[in-house]
Amino acid sequence: MAAAAASSQSLPITVSNLVKAYGDLRVLDDVSIAIRPGEFMTLLGPSGSGKTTLLMALAGFVSPESGSIRFGEQEMITTSPHKRGVGMVFQSYALFPFMSVVENVAYPLKIRGVSPAEQKSRAEAALEMVKLGGYGGRRINQLSGGQKQRVALARAMVFEPRIILMDEPLSALDKKLREHMQIELKQLHQKLDATIVYVTHDQREALTMSDRIAVINKGRIAQLDEPKALYRRPNSLFVADFIGETVLLPVQREGDGVSLQGRKLKLATPTPSGNGPLQLVIRPELLQLDAGDDGDTNTIAGVVRQTIYQGDSVLLIIDAGDGREVSVRIATSRAGQASLPDSGSRIALGLHRDDTVVLAEQAP
């Protein structure tokens, strides 16, 4: 059977100039991406961005108009799905309801002609990996949502594929279970030695699990970076707005620098070129209330309008003049609460220069 399967060495994936169009709509618009062997790569984007189409193209269920997909050195663009040797986990789990749990997990082995005894032992081992040891005899309709997801995972990895593709596998689970499974999946990835490509629209999920994240918008890769870099150094307003909580403040060009409230800002990144309008990207939790001027901090003056208690944190809505609003998030720790200003009081907010990112309204 498939030569790509049954080896325990993860593969790099190289996608070059991939185009997929439905009529006039380019769902994938000249996408190139290099995924490293063993990497946990997340394709993150809003619905309709093309992230699932890209995943389906990797799996072979979508045939692109042009471009190249290589697994290692091997060109895959015309290879049928069943010969690509990838494990796949679907949003709807796609378990076979007329088979038992162990029959489901053993299916890829059965198709590959593995002996019944080995099928059973390997399926049991895979179930053990996803903490479902002893569930082999159950019927699918006797399982909870989380258990079904684990069976789908076991089934995707039982034949030791070097690449595993996952299409929003956790989105049908409730929040608590989802967060638990995120951690578990991450741990599983470390044991597996497989390249994982993971599709989600949940930015927190992407930040939690990924080695790197490709933010996809309108069929193009907007930014490809590690979670921390993506969060702290977004390269466009789209990425800034899509990842995390973001407040945008219009700022003015002044010479080759940027100013806010008449003060020149110290920036973490170079001023965007061109002469279009600029926005300061602010993460509410990075603003400091008691801003001492140490020479490396920008200050934003404002008046406290509202204080909103949100359990783990308090959100302050600040009027920064000219109808511009900034929100500040402060942990509900003792230290955070001690300095909480009253509504109506004037305050100065501090933003460290390393956190000061200014972006052009339209990407150049």
Partner 1 sequence: MAIQDMPGASPWTQRLLAIYGALVLFFLMLPTVIVIPMSFSDSQYLEFPPTSWSLRWYREYFGSSAWMSATWTSLLVAVLTTLLATPLGTLAAYGMHCTSDRVRNSLQLLVLMPVVVPSILVAVGVFHLYAIVDLNYSITGLVLAHTALAVPFVIITVLSSLNNYDMTQEMAARSMGASRPQAFLGITLPQIRFSVLTGAFLAFITSLDEVVVAKFISGGENATITRRMFNALRDQIDPTIAAISTCLIVVSVLALAAVQFFGARSKGRT
- Residue numbers at the binding site for partner 1 (CB under 8 A): 1-2, 5, 59-61, 80-82, 84-88, 90, 92, 94-98, 107-108, 111-112, 141, 155-156, 159, 165
Q: How far is the CB of 99 from partner 1 (least distance, A)?
A: 9
Closer residue to partner 1, CB minimum distance, 22 or 309: 22
Q: How far is the CB of 94 from partner 1 (least distance, A)?
A: 4
Closer residue to partner 1, CB minimum distance, 152 or 278: 152
Q: How far is the CB of 208 from partner 1 (least distance, A)?
A: 25
Q: How far is the CB of 65 from partner 1 (least distance, A)?
A: 17
Closer residue to partner 1, CB minimum distance, 59 or 318: 59
Q: What is the separation, in whole angstroms, between the first and last Cα of the chain?
A: 48
Q: How far is the CB of 83 from partner 1 (least distance, A)?
A: 8
CA 323/CA 305 separation, integer angstroms? 12
**CB distance 361 to 279 below 8 Å:** yes
Q: How far is the CB of 219 from partner 1 (least distance, A)?
A: 20
| Residue 24: DSSP 8-state | T
**CB distance 131 to 150 below 8 Å:** yes
Closer residue to partner 1, CB minimum distance, 82 or 131: 82
How would DSSP label each residue in 212-278? EEEEEETTEEEEEE-HHHHHHS-SSHHHHHHSS--EEEEEEEETTEEEETTEEPP-SSPPPSSSS-E
Residue 181's CB: how many other CB atoms inside 10 A? 21
Closer residue to partner 1, CB minimum distance, 107 or 238: 107
Closer residue to partner 1, CB minimum distance, 109 or 267: 109
Q: At what angle do helices 101-111 and 145-157 cross, to 10 degrees?
A: 20
Q: What would the two tokens of residue 173 be?
A: 């689970």
